[in-house]
Structure 1
Amino acid sequence: MKTILASLNAKYIHTNLAIRYLKAAAADDYEIELAEYTINDPVLNIVGDLYAKKPDVIGFSCYIWNIEETIQVIKMLKKIHPEVKIILGGPEVTYDVNDWLERLHENIDFVAVGEGEATFKGLLDYFAGKIDFKQVRGAACMIDGSMHLIPQPQKTDLKTLPSPFRFPEDRADLKKRITYIETSRGCPFQCQFCLSSIEVGVRYFDREAVKNDIRYLMQHGARIFKFVDRTFNISRSYAMEMFEFLIDEHLPGTVFQFEITGDIMRPEVIQYLNDHAPAGLFRFEIGVQSTNDHTNELVKRKQNFDKLKRTVTMVKDGGKIDQHLDLIAGLPEENYHSFKQTFNDVYELGPEELQLGFLKMLRGTGLRMNAAAHQYIYMDHAPYEILGNNQLSFDEILRIKQVEDVLEKYWNDHRLDETIAYLTEEVFDTPFDFYQDFGTYWDEKGWSRIGHQLEDLFKRLYQFIEENQPESLPYVSYLMKKDYLAKHRFKPRKAWWTKGDKRFSDVYDHLLSNPALAGKKFMSLSLNQKELHKHTVLEEGLKLVDHKPVKMYLLAYYDPKTGDASIFEFSKEEAESVSI
């Protein structure tokens, strides 16, 4: 019986943990091949590859991001290979099972409902003639036009599951891909927009087994780990034990990312991480979603924003851990102006990354079941994103999407940090106002429909400021040049701005005769004339110093060995007062 477990991942660097658990659960009795593709692969290519393997059984792992592409694949497969048994599993098909079976009964044979390890193994035993179908728990199918399902009697004992990480065929790609780790299942919270709210309680895997898996994965090249636990720090003792283990035994270049609940993070835990964790080892993802208390109450989300701010601020002050904060636009009773406040509240915390997402009405969630109470309208197909409700019109959703577009390009990519900080703090009334005005301008220019290179990001921002905030343009222009030069690896061959004919030879002469002009660090470089001209870029501009305009020189030096940039600033007045 040739059996394949398949998944269409969002990106090549992603791996599917679920199909590996299923394979591990059945590996003692059945030989199973894993087949991973991406949602961007042509459907015919996927079908052709699967067909060439001549499978008897194919199981597909289904999520909101891949279900529509997966359906195309299975429909085509059944046309050319009608004998193959098709099993769907995963969170997207676990809920509204009857709807999926009615919709796809000609193209699929079974749906594995809920945790799939025992169900998948049971189906293989059934196909092999070892057991009767009535003995398969958690498998749904259509019999005489009606759904047939024998529920699973209890949740899986996670400590009994074999490791999904020890397959020899996975070793070659560990360096190239993200490794997903699961140390617990379930969530203690009841947020009504989240599937995790449906399962009551939290269950843990064996701690030592998890540690051994991480050791094995690191030894074989894995360097990027993402923990998929819904709330990694729900148990302080467990989180501390894992943090200590990862600090003590990590290998160079390793990064571990966790989903953290910010307002329950204890200060002593953060202080321990600030004191002992190497910079860059950990990355925290914190779901804020909304700072509107009434909205949080309506979705049964308990959140103390003051404590969350304390956590984010302590972590940021420690300078060791990057933070990714999430927002959701479209939650109940959060209108455009309330969401603007939420955005500004969270942006003020200065996370390294701020993700602005839009509410998705996931199958099985309380919010979807009570959608009429807030007059939600949403997409019929995955990802079921909202199109409006009683507080947020479709026009306003489109406006917030404009904010999302430029936020991703200009803040999360960190190309213009000093420039954006100045614009959001000094030029525009609030950060949201800057991103909204610029996002609307970007969309009206049609830039959202065409590609861009790095220089385009600078040119388009300059054009926007030139037309909308011309009085700040001289200072913005200077900061943009500084950001551009500082973020380059190696001396840039071209600039986004129009360079004049000025050669600055007199300024270079001043620097050679008195390098202290640019500060002690520059003086320590001890550059000769050839090195100065070959490895630096010199520009001039107007900078605000204590809210007063000062004419400045901006010097970028690029280390010829590393390419790293060092930025030096000194006033034009000081330079011109130096005798050569």
Structure 2
Amino acid sequence: MNPTQKRNVVMAQVNYQYGNNIFVPYAVGSLQAYAETLPDIRKNFHFQEPLFLRKDLAEVVGCMEEPAVVGLSCYLWNWEYNKSLAKAVRVAFPNCLIVFGGAQVPNDSKDFFVEHPYVDILVHGEGEFTFVSILLESLSDHPDYTSITGLSIHEKNLSTVKTPSSARIVDLSVLPSPYLAGVFDFLLNSSFLLNVSQETTRGCPYACTYCDWGGDSYKKVVRVSEQRLLDEFEWFGKNKVEYLFNCDANYGISKLDYAHTVSMLEIRTRHGGYPQKFRMCTAKNSDDRIFEITKLLSDAGMNKGATLSFQSMDDTTLETIKRKNIKMDKFSELMDRYHSAGIATYTELIMGMPGETYESSKKGVDILFEEQADTVNLYVYACTLLSNSEMNNPFYSRLHGIRSVRMPLLLAHSTPEAELSEYQNVVVGTNSMSPDDWQRTYVFYWAIQCMHCLGLTPQIAILFYKMFGVRYSDFYEKFIDHFMGMAGSLIGADIALVKDVVSQAVHGGRLDLVIPKFGETCWPLEEATFLNFVTNKESFYQEIRGFIDEFACNSGIFIEKEILDDLILYQSSLVKDPNVTELSVSLRYNLHDYFSNVRESKAILNKAPTLLKIVGDRSFGGDLETYAREVVWFGRKGGRFHHSSIVCERA
């Protein structure tokens, strides 16, 4: 209720709910916290509790109390919802001022209000100062927003008036913390588990063309005061926050970040281990400081692993997207260092960017895997055109022949939503990669991730590379070719399914799958097929054996039948099983020792009868939903799909 008859303001930053975990609406909370420091705002406006859940639109609008202003923070994952909500607000409250801000608001707004006449104002860039100016101007009998910088304004004839860009906020100390200001206190006694965001800096010094984080306007990095950050962390610990997402574009790039991490962990210890998890985006040129930060977090059990991102392994593509990678010798050194410290790593690539080809994609996998095939945990993402990225600029798109398709947004592990889907514009073709090659490349990366990186066949591929020089890309390409014409087989049926999904995606279909026996969850294709294979392990590895026999024969490779028998048995036994917790495996060759030392010159495969005793770290008792959640959803970045407790005895 608003007993003083102040003007009501409703702020919305809607996100998906994952189980009982919700994302606290930090961006709109920051706008509210700053606005409420000003006497004229407090005197004239009343902020209702911010909206943060994707609830039924009629229910949401029905709970609004004659709003004078509705502000919506827009991202890729809530753009369609926000537009629908704004339409509903316009119908229910025709005189309400509707303001859009956030990363999804297009800088090129020339025709925006023709397509979206229910919106009044767009805010470009940082919103704290700008939104306050909008609120104060709305108090006028005849508001004129054209004097406010950083806006696109809806004129009565549906044309757009765009004002000059706003200056950066260079002194972040004037912005209060929404956590410390009490904006989110209404959530503290709820049943929700809180996922929070925290800014340590704003800005990014890089200008990667696929990203909208930095660029000319935001290349200067501005830091939040250390005292505010630590005070916020006290709030997170006191209120038992589950998950903290650090909003820094390059955490670890500053010397201050290590000391901040140490202080953060000291506070966490005082609060019984809260927040439980910490997610960061590290600087692209990972170095000693980032290793030390990651080790601190890993030792505390706060992170799932270290990210070593390349985005592309192709020099032409890297030049086109304005990015430089770390050298491969440095990458191998870092991988060894993380591996020795017991820290999981994962590497990210973006497929289909300008300059990339099917062959360059294969070559990139070989470069990554040749020295680190036993530790590379690869995540490959389709290239998405972000609203304000350089890659989405019409000139850039024409120059590189970019063809994109609007398809449902892939939000891994979200719950399927039938009524209102979000969308992304995915690059499915360029001057260097046709849509047909894009599909072929997607299926190739599916095989690499599902078969190798999720642990189904890496030891098999490694042995063929080490002993016979078979490149990893050729091995998995032949794997796809072998099963492509075997739709009646387990693997062939799943490859046919993956190909069909990818083919439909080029025309606007989804790039994920829901498998009911693993819960109402949207799984990326490689995870969905992994789950299908792992629940049919015996048939799966029988078919893999058939492929290996044919592949070896066609390649002129002779390998002892006993070695292959042991290899298939060993590989199968490593993979965690939802039904089996303990097993003893008798081998005729020293495969476990061989793969434990595979990067060393002393790794020699010998006949040496061996007994492996494998004990799972937990029993799933056939509970497929729990298995999928723990091993794949939560465990993928930590590489949890293989058993870690293996005792090797000489038979």
Shorter-chain TM-score bucket reads 0.7 to 0.9
Structure 1: gaps of 5 or more residues: 496-534, 575-580
Helix, strand or coil at the partner of 2:161: strand
Task: Please say if 1:183 is aligned against 2:241.
Answer: no
Task: Please say if 1:482 is aligned against 2:573.
Answer: yes
Tell me by how many angstroms 1:390 deviates.
Answer: 1.2
Does the aligned pair in 2 maintain the 1:186–1:196 contact within 8 Å? yes
Give the alignment's Cα RMSD to 1 decimal: 3.5
Task: Please say if 1:459 is aligned against 2:518.
Answer: no
Separation in structure 2 between the aligned mates of residue 360 and residue 481 of structure 1, nearest angstrom: 36
Which of the numbers 62, 71, 80 marks the counterpart of 1:51? 62
Partner of 2:161: 148
Does the aligned pair in 1 maintain the 2:429–2:435 contact within 8 Å? yes
Helix, strand or coil at the partner of 2:70: strand
Partner of 1:519: none
Task: Please say if 1:547 is aligned against 2:574.
Answer: no
Partner of 1:270: 291
Does the aligned pair in 1 maintain the 2:584–2:613 contact within 8 Å? yes
Does the aligned pair in 2 maintain the 1:291–1:305 contact within 8 Å? no
Does the aligned pair in 1 maintain the 2:352–2:433 contact within 8 Å? yes
Partner of 1:524: none
Which of the numbers 28, 32, 41 marks the counterpart of 1:19? 28
Task: Please say if 1:358 is aligned against 2:382.
Answer: yes
Separation in structure 2 between the aligned mates of residue 311 and residue 175 of structure 1, nearest angstrom: 42
Tell me by how many angstroms 1:83 deviates.
Answer: 3.8
Separation in structure 2 between the aligned mates of residue 555 and residue 361 of structure 1, nearest angstrom: 49
Superposition TM-score, scaled by structure 2 size: 0.70
Percent identity, please.
Answer: 20
Aligned pair in 2 of structure 1 residues 4, 474: CA closer, same or farther (>3 Å)? farther
Partner of 1:136: 148
Aligned pair in 2 of structure 1 residues 248, 541: CA closer, same or farther (>3 Å)? same
Superposition TM-score, scaled by structure 1 size: 0.78
Task: Please say if 1:197 is aligned against 2:221.
Answer: no
Separation in structure 2 between the aligned mates of residue 241 and residue 17 of structure 1, nearest angstrom: 24
Alpha-carbon displacement from aligned partner over 1:298-335 (angstroms, at most 9, x marks no partner): 22213332465156325513525433322111222121
Tell me by how many angstroms 1:435 deviates.
Answer: 4.9
The residue type paired with residue 87 of structure 2 is K
The residue type paired with residue 348 of structure 2 is D
Alpha-carbon displacement from aligned partner over 1:387-413 (angstroms, at most 9, x marks no partner): 20111121222223224445555566x
Separation in structure 1 between the aligned mates of residue 434 and residue 584 of structure 2, nearest angstrom: 49
Task: Please say if 1:5 is aligned against 2:5.
Answer: no
Tell me by how many angstroms 1:549 deviates.
Answer: 5.8
Separation in structure 2 between the aligned mates of residue 119 and residue 314 of structure 1, nearest angstrom: 48
Does the aligned pair in 1 maintain the 2:130–2:148 contact within 8 Å? yes
Q: How does 1:338-417 map to 2 (within 5 A)?
A: 338-347=360-369, 349=372, 353-369=377-393, 370-379=396-405, 382-406=423-447, 409=450, 414=454, 416=455
Aligned pair in 2 of structure 1 residues 482, 329: CA closer, same or farther (>3 Å)? same
Alpha-carbon displacement from aligned partner over 1:43-100 (angstroms, at most 9, x marks no partner): xx13422333335132222122332333233334434443433221111114222232
Aligned pair in 2 of structure 1 residues 565, 290: CA closer, same or farther (>3 Å)? closer
Q: How does 1:319-338 map to 2 (within 5 A)?
A: 319=341, 321-338=343-360
Which of the numbers 260, 264, 273 marks the counterpart of 1:242? 260
Separation in structure 2 between the aligned mates of residue 77 and residue 94 of structure 1, nearest angstrom: 21
Task: Please say if 1:62 is aligned against 2:71.
Answer: no
Does the aligned pair in 2 maintain the 1:280–1:320 contact within 8 Å? no
Partner of 1:109: 120
Separation in structure 2 between the aligned mates of residue 360 and residue 565 of structure 1, nearest angstrom: 36
Does the aligned pair in 2 maintain the 1:94–1:114 contact within 8 Å? no
Separation in structure 2 between the aligned mates of residue 539 and residue 318 of structure 1, nearest angstrom: 27
Equivalent residue pairs, number = 515
Does the aligned pair in 2 maintain the 1:259–1:284 contact within 8 Å? no
Tell me by how many angstroms 1:213 deviates.
Answer: 0.7
Larger % of helix: which? 1
Separation in structure 1 between the aligned mates of residue 618 and residue 293 of structure 2, nearest angstrom: 38
Partner of 2:523: none
Separation in structure 1 between the aligned mates of residue 590 and residue 52 of structure 2, nearest angstrom: 54
Helix, strand or coil at the partner of 2:260: helix
Tell me by how many angstroms 1:537 deviates.
Answer: 4.1
Aligned pair in 2 of structure 1 residues 27, 312: CA closer, same or farther (>3 Å)? farther
Aligned pair in 2 of structure 1 residues 322, 552: CA closer, same or farther (>3 Å)? closer
Partner of 1:578: none
Separation in structure 2 between the aligned mates of residue 456 and residue 241 of structure 1, nearest angstrom: 45
Helix, strand or coil at the partner of 1:469: helix
More displaced 10-residue stretch of structure 1: 205-214 or 10-19:
10-19
Which of the numbers 43, 52, 56 marks the counterpart of 1:36? 52
Alpha-carbon displacement from aligned partner over 1:117-159 (angstroms, at most 9, x marks no partner): 1222222223334975344332322214321233354111322
Aligned pair in 2 of structure 1 residues 468, 189: CA closer, same or farther (>3 Å)? same
Does the aligned pair in 1 maintain the 2:460–2:571 contact within 8 Å? no
Aligned pair in 2 of structure 1 residues 313, 556: CA closer, same or farther (>3 Å)? closer
Higher RCO, Cα 8 Å, sep 6+? 2
Helix, strand or coil at the partner of 1:3: strand
Tell me by how many angstroms 1:475 deviates.
Answer: 3.1
The residue type paired with residue 566 of structure 2 is Y
Which of the numbers 79, 86, 104 marks the counterpart of 2:98? 86
Tell me by how many angstroms 1:204 deviates.
Answer: 1.1
Tell me by how many angstroms 1:365 deviates.
Answer: 2.5
Structure 2: gaps of 5 or more residues: 1-6, 408-422, 485-491, 502-512, 519-530, 550-560, 592-603, 622-642
Separation in structure 2 between the aligned mates of residue 559 and residue 308 of structure 1, nearest angstrom: 33
Aligned pair in 2 of structure 1 residues 71, 434: CA closer, same or farther (>3 Å)? farther
Task: Please say if 1:280 is aligned against 2:280.
Answer: no
